[in-house]
Every structure is written in structure tokens, then in C-alpha cells.
Amino acid sequence: MRAFEFLIESPQVASLQKALINKIQQLPADDSTLKALKEIEDLLNTVGAGGRMGMVNNQLEEIGDEDVTKARKLLAKYVLSIDADPAEKKAMMAAWKADKLIDIKSLMSPVYHKITDVVIGYDSNPAIQQLTDDLVEIAALGQGKGEFMLSVMSKRVMKKQKGDLVIDGKNIELKTSDGGAGRFYDQEVRPNTNWPTLSENYLNTYKEEIDAAGLKVPGTGMKIDMISKVAEVMPSEKVEQHKKDLNDIFKAIFPTQDVGSAVEAALAGNVGEAKQRFARLSLDNYLSIKDDDAVLMIDLNTKPISLAIFSSAADLYGAGLRLHAGTIYPIATDARYAYPQVKIAKTAQAQPD
């Protein structure tokens, strides 16, 4: 007689089976009991598959996504931590394998979306919602927040060799707002080499006017509203030279753009317009230098998470949105400060051309 046959027929096992059956029958007939029984069944199904971790690893491998395979150990831990009905987890894994977690058409449609529009099942399957909420907060495999989530949740989203993502064959620059917003600045997009000298010369040349305006320039540099105040006290004989110097500074920051309108707005004291034009220059300059087809901005600060995809500021304006720039330092000691943190904001006002 084989060992397992002995165990099945043994009085001890029969007694244990009876005790377990009695315990199960005594459980209340509610959702918690049903969930617990399903979890027990799910756990028993992993026997012989290397345990739950091994089984999830195998399921992730079957998805056939290179990004998923690279991160499967990390992803397996998050899948196992999901607190949801086993049937919901199975539905999530089936959708993942079928590449039906991300609605690419919605994601790539300008302009503004909520996470519920992009992640299929986010608002109907708790397992998918938990997976999304977990993964969107992760920076891994050289990818930032949001970027990693999209690349592992869809086979049609891939990490570029240089840059951010390829989504459905298009090059997409991703900017994620998590606390602070992103900047349109990187190794390829930065001020011309003469910008530090121009900034220093400005502070020296117009020191008298800066003092007359009652300004104290911090170590970070001069904000755009400070420039407007300097213009207010500028002697008439220096006005044209001041305008030229500012034009040179702005042009050094945005070498591919016509900066005249932004300079005029700053000199006229129209600070709001100057900031908006500066934000648009930041975007347009970036896109003209990069080979991206569009920018995807993910805002983790909104509830639910929001996304905006656009290839120009005009796309935003047409959708009742605008670029909102944080503090702007056209004159600074650090190149990063010349490119403000930019996020998307709703607006009912007409935007400058």
C-alpha cells in the first residue's frame, strides 16, 4: 500500500477531515467566509507550483512582456500583497496576459483623462485598482513614477533606449507631478553656454536699478516678477539696452524660440502673461530639440490621478487647459531654475498666442 493511500484510509486523517468539515459548516454564510474559502482553494492550487510566489512568477512570465519579465520578482510581491477576492485577482492576471489593462486608444487621445479612463477595470476590479495604485508610485528599472507602471501594464508601452516611452509606436516624453511638477530640462535641453555670463553681467550692470527697486536677489537668482520691478525704475536712456540684454538672456535659455513676446510682457509688468509665455517657451523649446511626438503628464496629486497628453500648447488651450509654471528664474546660478516646474491647470481664460 502506498503512503498516501495509508494516510487517506487512516482513522486519524478521517477524524481530521470530519473536524475540518464541522468547522467550515459552523462558519457564518457571509462574504468574509466565502473569500476565506476561495483563498484556501487558491493556496491549495499552488501546491506543486513552487508555492504562491512561484505560481505568480510563472503567470508573469506567461504575459510575454520583456519589461514584466525583467521586474517579475518585484511585481510578484505586489501581486501577492493585493487584498482582493481570488476571482478578481484571476481576472486581473487574465486581462494582463491578454494586454487588456491599459486602454491605449484613450491614453493616446488628446488631451485630458482620469486614471479610470486609461486603466481598464480600475473602477470595477479592486485587484486592478490596487495594482495600479501601487505601481504608479514605483520608480524601477531606470524608469520614473508612472513610466514604470505603464511599461509593465501594457505590451504596447515600451521603454526607449534613449528617453522615456514608446507608446503604440510613438515617442512620448513623460513628466510626472508628485509633490513638485516636472521641468522641460535635461542633458539635451539646457541654456546655451553663454547664459551664466549673461546672468552675471545683468546683475552687475543693473545693480543700481535692482537696489532702487528695493530688491534683494537671493542665491537662486532673479524671478521674472523682479525683472518687471527693475523695468519700472529703469532710466529712459537704459531702456533699449535693458530690453536687448533680457532678450539675449531669454534667447540663451530658449535658443530655438522667438522670445520677444515674453520679454515684452515682463518689461510691461504683465507678470501673469509673462509666466504663461515662459511656460509655453519651455514646452516648445523642449519639443523642438527632442524627437518626441507628444508629452504625457501624469499628476499623482489629483484624486483620482489625472493624465494629459499633447503635442503642443494649442492642444491644451483647445481643451480648456493651460500650462502653469512654478517659480521662474530667468537669471540664476543653476540652469535647472531657468526651466520652471510646469503642470497642467484648467482655465476659462483665453491664452496668448
Region of 314 on the Ramachandran plot (φ > 0 left; ψ -120 to 50 alpha; else beta): alpha
Q: What is the pLDDT of residue 83?
A: 87
Task: Give the contacts of 283 (CB within 8 A, at least 6 positions apart).
Answer: 184, 295, 312, 313, 323, 342
Q: What is the pLDDT of residue 52?
A: 62
Q: What is the pLDDT of residue 43?
A: 43
Q: What is the pLDDT of residue 4?
A: 44
Q: What is the pLDDT of residue 39?
A: 55
Q: What is the pLDDT of residue 161?
A: 67
pTM above 0.85, yes or no: no
Alpha carbon distance 351, 321 (integer Å): 9
Q: What is the pLDDT of residue 56?
A: 76
Alpha carbon distance 92, 121 (integer Å): 8
Digit-by-digit pLDDT tens for the chain (353 residues) are 444 444 445 555 556 556 655 665 566 666 665 565 455 445 444 444 445 666 677 788 888 888 898 888 889 888 888 888 888 998 999 999 999 999 999 999 988 999 999 999 999 999 999 999 999 998 887 888 899 999 999 999 998 766 689 998 899 999 888 877 888 998 889 999 999 999 999 999 999 999 999 999 998 999 999 999 999 999 999 999 999 999 999 999 999 999 999 999 999 999 999 999 999 999 999 999 988 899 999 999 889 999 999 988 888 888 888 888 889 999 998 989 999 988 888 876 666 66
Alpha carbon distance 182, 290 (integer Å): 16
Q: What is the pLDDT of residue 11?
A: 59
C-beta neighbour count of 155 within 10 angstroms: 20
Q: What is the pLDDT of residue 49?
A: 40
Report the percent of the chain where pLDDT is more than 90: 52
Q: What is the pLDDT of residue 23?
A: 60
Task: Give the contacts of 116 (CB within 8 A, at least 6 positions apart).
Answer: 122, 123, 304
